[in-house]
Amino acid sequence: MDITPVFVTKSYSPPLEEYQRYVKQILTTCQFTNNGPLLLELEGKLRAFLGVDNLQFVTNGTVALQLALRGLEITEGEIITTPFTYVATTSAILWERCTPVYVDIDPQTLCLDPNKVEAAITPRTRAILAVHVFGIPCDVDALADIGQRYGLPVIYDAAHAFGCRYKGRSLLSFGDVSTCSFHATKLFHTIEGGCVICRDAEVHQRVDLVKRFGHTGDEHFCLGINAKASEFQAAMGLCNLPHVPEIIADRRRSVELYDSLLRDRFTRPTIPAGTEYNYSYYPVLFPSEQALLTAKAALEAQNIHFRRYFYPSLNTLPYLPTRQECPISEDVAVRIACLPLYYGISEIIVKQIGDMICPCIHI
């Protein structure tokens, strides 16, 4: 008998009639891209939702990171960053011809450890690029202090953090530049997409110029790329944004059920006090890599799939020019996985997953 597969995530799909209404508008106006009315409307609503002034909606979260570096006029040198995140963070640094310098992570939050950042600063350091991994806030106060004392901009890859608030404000409002991914697997998505949020208006204007080939009309100012998002992406965002509170509430219920089943059995990252979490992921640390692989095999036999977020530790990538040791990240990366979590996941599935992985803690 075929078993319906359960994946680690599932894209939220808004009511069809809501999206059709926007598609009809797009097809009527025939403006599919180039800062169309739906894109401008979405940018305005995102600014209001996040409480920020300078936000630009772009094609995806990876190009958002590249635009952050370009907006800050960083085209060479070293970028201090974390080894524990998705490879896109490192890819953006390398693509912009900069050198990633990996600093190990805090064993509690799994975010970049600010206590180890200063030792990595050199005359070639141009910025700090940290990640709110799993939507867990970095130590934003400590990183801001380091950035100010050394004259380094702090960039946050906030791909997981949409809907998270810290100390009463959106987590995406921290840093000199913050970026987000609106990929289809994210809590809030626009099919593909992302955004760049800049504290400084001049950086915001540079990002705007670079994302559209570096020119205004016939006047060319700088090298640029095409990072403009389409009206169809914006339409999906306009459909999904009003449902974010409902999506978060549903995911919270699933997380609380996981917690009731797995509490005191698995180690989980620590969410700092003052955080309003978005429940975007459910990461668990197994006692060993073998325990993780045993649980993975058992679940896959039932067509249930979790994912190793994040593996491998990025400082071990084979194409890096040098190897930097990050023992905490390397240890965590082989033992951590995210369990299935998405809007509408059934209690039966969550309980089945809990029952199947608990025996693996003794392996």
Distance of CA 309 to the CA centre of its chain: 12
pLDDT at 95: 97
Architecture of domain 16-242: 3-Layer(aba) Sandwich (3.40)
Under a CB-based contact definition with an 8 Å cutoff, are residues 190 and 92 in contact? no
Residue for token digits 């404000």?
A: 169
Q: Spell 274-294 as b/e; 16+ CB within 10 A means b.
A: ebebbbbbbbbbbeebebbbb
Question: For residue 129, what is the DSSP state?
Answer: E
Torsion from C-alpha of 115, 118, 120, 121, nearest 10 degrees = 160
Q: What are phi and psi of 362, to 5 degrees?
A: -95, 0
Q: What are phi and psi of 156, to 5 degrees?
A: -115, 125
Residues in the chain: 363
pLDDT at 34: 94
**How far apart, in whole angstroms, are the C-alpha atoms of residue 107 and residue 118?**
18
Tell me which residue of 65, 323, 71 sits closest to 195, measured CA to CA.
Answer: 65
pLDDT in tens, 317-349: 999 988 899 999 999 999 999 999 999 999 999
Stretches where the chain sits below pLDDT 50 are 1
Terminal CA-CA length for the chain: 30
**CA dist list (Å): 242 to 95, 224, 360:** 35, 33, 40
Other CB atoms within 10 A of residue 20 CB: 12
pLDDT in tens, 216-257: 999 999 999 999 999 999 999 999 999 999 999 999 999 999
pLDDT at 363: 63
Under a CB-based contact definition with an 8 Å cutoff, are residues 131 and 111 in contact? yes
Question: For residue 268, what is the DSSP state?
Answer: -
**Beta strands 125-131 and 78-81: pairing type?**
parallel
* Helices and strands, counts by H and E, the chain: 11, 14
Tokens of 236: 């999906």
Question: For residue 6, what is the DSSP state?
Answer: B
Question: For residue 210, what is the DSSP state?
Answer: H
pLDDT at 2: 54
Tokens of 170: 């959106």
- 327-335 helix and 289-301 helix, angle to the nearest 10 degrees: 30
Structural domain boundaries of the chain? 16-242, 243-362
Under a CB-based contact definition with an 8 Å cutoff, are residues 337 and 304 in contact? no
pLDDT at 181: 98
- List, as one string, the DSSP characters of 307-326: B-TT-S-GGG-TT-SS----
Architecture of domain 243-362: Alpha-Beta Complex (3.90)
